[in-house]
Amino acid sequence: MKSLLPLVILFLCHPLIWCQDNDQTVSHHPVAIDTFYQKYIVKDQYRWLEEVSSAETKKWVEAQNKRSKSYLESCLNKTNAFNIIDKYTLTDFHNPKKQGDYYFTYAFYNNLNNPALFYQPAFNRSMLVIVDPDYVSTKDEILIRQYRVSKDSKLLAYQFNRNGSDWLEARVVSLQTGLHKKDHLEGLKFRNLCWLGAGFFYSTVFQDSKFGVTNGQRVFYHKIGDEQSQDKLIFARKNNSDVYFDYMTTADERFFVLKEVNEKAGLINFFYIDYQSAEPSLRPLITNLKFSDDSPGILDFHNGKFIASTLRETGFGSIMEIDPANPYKWRSLSTGFSDALLLNVIPFYDRIVAVYQSDQRSVICVMDFDGTVLYQLKLPVATTVEGFSGNHSDEELLFYIQSYTMPPVVYKFNIRTYKKEAMQETSVNFNFEDIEYKQVEYLSGDSTRISMLLVYQKGLKLDGNNPAILEAYGGFNLVDLPTFNPGIVYFIKNKGVYAFANIRGGGDKGEQWSRDGRGKNKQKSFDDFIAAAGYLINNNYTCKEKLAATGTSNGGLVVAAAAIQRPDLFRAVVPVLAPLDMLRLEKFTVGHWNTEEYGTVKDSAGFAGIYAYSPFHNIKDGVNYPAMLIVTAENDDRVPPFHSYKFAAALQNRKAQTNPILLKSARNSGHHGASTFYTQIRDDAGIFGFIMTQLTGKP
């Protein structure tokens, strides 16, 4: 039996802590000592930085930001990164999405920092503002995160956040008058709004402090015109922080379906309400389904059956029917392709549109409800297809394609005639045709073959002397699809090589690929990334003096761990919004929901695995690590900013560290990055300016 001994914390006196390149003393602080399983003693001299609201921590962060701002401004002056990236950002396109009787798009006007939501009844009609961020608040930075139209197209419910937080609020506006209803909901987080008749479903969670553990998710139904206190509780589990829910309503609004996931118990339950029954009530559909088994997501209801898909939860994904009268016997509509990954499924009235990925190429498939493939459209390598929109009964839908160096191009597609038509031209102010995409494979340390995408200027001389950026994500079974990035264009136009490695832990090759890089296998993700760096160097794309690494969130963990384990391979490293103190991750916000990915300190084997790779705990005194720009956000309530604070402080306060270690902690920003369009460009330019300055030898 695994020991679950309580954590013992002692406090000892510690010498003065000094900021790197700063002659001012920070303060005396005790060292926290955590004892695990009576034999593992872990010291933490930077625990005090977890008190983010203390005057001392605020003063320390302010000093860090002042230093990084000065350094990054110098980098921007030397590289002109901001002006060029800002120029490449100015693309001319609209990305309309159809819901109900209207088309919606985000656009800037009146010098707003964030886009407003516009709508129009047809493409040939003028766009009108329906949600103005300044209407919500002129004090806070408001970002509209999601919107949903009622079935009768009379009302629009939308969610928004303030200053980059994951916490959401919801309001309702009339699409006929443009006036807001009195409805205002608070305490929402992560999950969507789902309409049903004269109201919608939403969920809330409890959190006892800004970075406290989230728990107690509850699903409510809100009737338009009611106060939030009047909302009907649909589902909850008392005192269980390991449980979370997803939910949806079918296109005809007959069914509400809720999926309950308990990662700790390894079980999944499905419940549903049939609103055409004599007495609608929540009843079980499928219970005690093992988390590691086929775990469908319900998509819609067709001809008496639920339509579901497994996407990447097992194998390469499949589409199926589930009969509510016999829910444990599923009929496969499409088992997918042997070498393709199912990314998306959109059911229509008599067709299913599915998106697959094969060999880094997206494929759009149209099939009937017997699983017969009627049409396939193969797209170029490293092209992302997303943004599908249209009503359940429509014959035409909208979608867009994009890549790292091509902004979205919106198409109209007929699912019966298969005619595809670009809605309008997308204009850019650079030559995108002289950029080359190349897919390669390399061997990781255990001889596993890993794919990697390379992007660079056509005709670039590959002599081992080019600056290069290596990026990855590698977690949570996610496929990190290419999106347009003006910073990458800037880097490539400066003779750089951009590389993205599809390392284990991500979902690029199905469920097993993800399992091979999570939990007890997490180190394999880092090994894959390290091997990618070796491939770029050994094959003359770059050299170790000109190789940078960057990643965001889980990708930030990957690059930080790789830099700590193999500092000799990189000149510059930029972890963004990264979990870095892995022993304490599950003690805050949503970290307890991520133990399957990272492991847990609540069992001895999990603790040993985490301690072995946690970047904060593996910094060595005698090593001069690569130059780092450590980026976090003060309102990141998914990965609290003190992960980055502690990591930066531990790197800085060592005599061996001569390469610069910078910390940038953004205000009014959260886990999704900057809260305004302008600051996002500025932040991106700072990262690319820092990297280019380091790689060109002009620090």
Residues 137-196: tens digit of each pLDDT: 999 989 999 999 999 999 999 999 999 888 999 999 999 999 999 999 999 987 789 999
Give the pLDDT confidence score for residue 338 in this predicted structure: 66
Contacts of 86 (CB under 8 A, 6+ apart): 486, 681, 685
What mean pLDDT do residues 353-371 have? 91
Q: Buried b / exposed e across 160-175, counting CB within 10 Å, b at 16+?
A: bbbbbbbbbbbbbbeb
> Strands 396-403 and 406-414, how do they pair?
antiparallel
Question: 230 — phi, psi (to 5°)?
Answer: -90, -5
% of the chain beyond a pLDDT of 70: 93
Structure-block tokens of residue 499: 């590389």
Average pLDDT over residues 397-409: 95
Tell me the whole-structure pTM to 2 decimals. 0.90
Q: Which residues contact 269 (CB under 8 A, 6 or more apart)?
A: 259, 260, 262, 284, 286, 287, 288, 289
- C-alpha closest to that of 168 among 187, 148, 194: 187
- Residue 631, helix vs strand vs coil: strand
The amino acid occupying position 55 is A
More confident residue, 571 or 317: 571
Partners of 219 in beta bridges? 203, 235
CA pseudo-torsion sign 667, 670, 676, 677: positive
Lowest mean pLDDT among 315-324, 403-412, 552-561: 315-324
Segment 319-331 shows an average pLDDT of 93
- What average pLDDT does the segment 370-390 reach? 93
Nearest Cα residue to 172 out of 198, 191, 190: 198
- Residue 589: half-sphere exposure toward Cβ, Cα within 13 Å: 19
Residue 335: per-residue pLDDT: 65
Q: Which residues contact 316 (CB under 8 A, 6 or more apart)?
A: 336, 337, 338, 339, 340, 341, 342, 510
Q: Which residues pair with 421 in a beta bridge?
A: 412
Average pLDDT over residues 89-100: 85
* pLDDT value of position 164: 87
Q: Give the model's confidence band at 365: pLDDT under 50 very low, under 70 low, under 90 confident, else very high.
A: very high
Helices (H) and strands (E) in the chain, counts: 11, 41
Alpha carbons 503 and 475: distance in angstroms, whole number: 9
Residue 498 CB partners (closer than 8 Å, separation 6+): 404, 454, 455, 456, 468, 469, 471, 488, 491, 492
User: What percent of the chain shows pLDDT beyond 90?
Assistant: 76
Q: What is the pLDDT of residue 15?
A: 31
Instruction: Quote the mean pLDDT of the chain.
Output: 90
pLDDT surpassing 80 at residue 574: yes
Give the three-state DSSP class for 684.
helix
pLDDT of residue 665: 96
Domains of the chain, earliest start first: 57-79+430-586+623-695 (3.40.50.1820)
Nearest to 317 by CA among 330, 329, 308: 308
Q: Give the whole-angstrom CA distance, residue 464 versus residue 5.
A: 52
Q: How far apart are CA 194 and CA 184, in angstroms?
A: 16
Residue 684: pLDDT band with limits 50, 70, 90: very high
Placement of tokens 């990965």 in the chain:
639
pLDDT at 234 over 80: yes
Look at residue 263 and tell me whether its pLDDT is greater than 80: no
pLDDT at 20: 45
Give the model's pLDDT for residue 4.
35
pLDDT at 14: 34
More confident residue, 314 or 355: 355
Beta-bridge partners for 468? 497, 547
User: 555 falls in which pLDDT band (50, 70, 90)?
Assistant: very high
pLDDT confidence tier of residue 292, bands split at 50, 70 and 90: low
Q: Would you tell me how many other CB atoms lie within 10 Å of the CB of residue 17?
A: 18
Work out the number of other CB atoms within 10 angstroms of the CB of residue 535. Answer: 21
Confidence of residue 699 (pLDDT cuts 50, 70, 90): low
Q: Mean of the pLDDT values across residues 272-297? A: 87
Give the DSSP letter of residue 187: E
Mean pLDDT in residue range 517-542: 98
Report whether 399 contacts 386 (CB < 8 A).
yes
pLDDT for 39 beyond 70: yes
Nearest CA-CA partner of 44 in 630, 623, 616, 655: 616
Please report which confidence band the pLDDT of residue 675 belongs to, taking 50, 70 and 90 as the band edges. low
Q: For 413-440, how does the pLDDT look when each residue is reduced to its tens digit (9 = 90+)?
A: 999 999 999 988 888 999 999 999 999 9
Q: Are 535 and 440 in contact (CB under 8 A)?
A: yes
What is the reported pLDDT for 151?
A: 97
Mean pLDDT of 32-51: 95
The pLDDT tens digits for 612-627 are: 999 999 999 999 999 9
At residue 673, the pLDDT reads: 66
pLDDT, residue 2, reads: 36
Q: What's the token pair of residue 583?
A: 């022993």
Between residues 341 and 315, which one has the greater pLDDT?
Answer: 341
Euclidean distance between CA atoms 163 and 634, whole angstroms = 10
- Backbone φ and ψ of 634, nearest 5°: -65, -25
Q: Is the pLDDT of residue 27 over 80?
A: no
**485 has a pLDDT exceeding 60:** yes
Q: Tell me the DSSP string of 63-87.
A: HHHHHHHHHHHHHHHHH-HHHHHHH
Predicted confidence at residue 24, as pLDDT, reads 38
**Average pLDDT for 4-24:** 36
* The pLDDT of residue 323 is above 50: yes
User: Rounded to whole angstroms, what are the CA distances from 140 to 145, 173, 473?
Assistant: 15, 20, 31
For 291-395, strand residue ranges (E) read 297-302, 305-309, 319-323, 326-334, 341-347, 352-358, 361-367, 373-381, 384-389
